[in-house]
Amino acid sequence: MGALIRTANPSNLHLALDFLTGLSCGELECLAEFQGACLLEMADIPVNPYRMLAEFFDPAVSERWRNCEDRAHKTFVVLSWLEVQKIPQPRVIVSHVA
């Protein structure tokens, strides 16, 4: 869990801690493996983690993802984690003058 916290955006640290605290050991393990795969891929060039989802959860690549329900659940957990990790964007307020 510590490694996952260190990869989180510091401005979202509280949200990341809350998110990770609610996960099971299997979900944390999946996130850690996904994060590790992202780091290995990014060693050469920056990679969009969303693009790695299909290959990471491909049942042809790993027997671990043969169960479609487990694969769908873990994919949702990883997607949720990626959203928690996002850097908050400043809100742009546009006013229209008539």
For residues 66 and 44, what is the distance between their CA atoms, to the nearest angstrom?
A: 30
Exposed, middle or buried by CB within 10 Å (0-12, 13-18, 19+), for 2?
A: exposed
For residues 15 and 77, what is the distance between their CA atoms, to the nearest angstrom?
A: 15
What per-residue confidence (pLDDT) applies to 34? 93
What per-residue confidence (pLDDT) applies to 38? 85
Q: How confident is the model at residue 95 (pLDDT cuts 50, 70, 90)?
A: low
6-26 per-position pLDDT tens digit = 877 778 888 889 999 989 999
What per-residue confidence (pLDDT) applies to 25? 94
Cα angle value 52/76/33 (rounded, 5°) = 50
Alpha helices per DSSP H over 22-87 = 25-41, 49-56, 68-85
What per-residue confidence (pLDDT) applies to 91? 54
What per-residue confidence (pLDDT) applies to 88? 56
25-81 per-position pLDDT tens digit = 999 999 999 988 888 887 777 778 898 899 999 998 888 888 999 999 999 999 999
